[in-house]
């Protein structure tokens, strides 16, 4: 069965520091990969997605993610975080032709001044 793992439940980063959030998946085929962000008290918003092609994907708000097939990973990065990036981040994985997306358990990001 397909699965998504976000090994970090909570990460604290200083404002201006770099960020990397980890995501690993277990699938038989190359999946469709997503990162969503959830600000406090709000719904989820798409940050970026990967279907095929260039393995480095650019998203909104200065985020990027890199697909590494050999490591079954799709880690999210940002070179310099802002206080407004404090939120919960979800990695999600799907398969072509499937209606259902599988979400990871999320990583809560705290930004300290």
Map the footprint of another protein across residues 12-51, applying CB under 8 A.
32, 34, 36, 41-46, 49, 51
Total chain residues near another protein (CB under 8 A): 25
Q: Which residues pair with 87 in a beta bridge?
A: 109
Stretch that binds another protein, among 12-20, 22-30, 76-84, 95-103 (CB under 8 A): 95-103
Structure tokens at 108: 């809560």
Sole binder of another protein in the list 21, 59, 78, 94 (CB under 8 A): 94
CB 77 within 8 A of CB 66: yes
- The residue among 37, 41, 47, 48 whose CA lies nearest residue 87 is 37
CB 37 within 8 A of CB 31: no
Of 19 and 101, the one with the shorter C-beta distance to another protein is 101
Residues that bind another protein (CB under 8 A): 9, 32, 34, 36, 41-46, 49, 51, 90, 94-101, 103-106
């Amino acid at each position: 069965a397909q699965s998504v793992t976000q090994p970090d439940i909570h990460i604290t980063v200083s404002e201006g520091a770099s960020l990397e959030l980890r995501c690993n998946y277990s699938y038989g085929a190359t999946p469709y990969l997503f990162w969503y962000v959830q600000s406090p008290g709000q719904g989820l918003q798409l940050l970026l997605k990967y279907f095929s092609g260039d393995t480095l994907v650019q998203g909104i708000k200065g985020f990027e993610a890199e697909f590494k097939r050999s490591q079954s990973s799709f880690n999210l990065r940002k070179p310099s975080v802002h206080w407004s990036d404090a939120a919960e981040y979800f990695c999600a994985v799907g398969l072509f032709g499937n209606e259902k997306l599988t979400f990871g358990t999320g990583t809560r990001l705290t930004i300290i001044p």
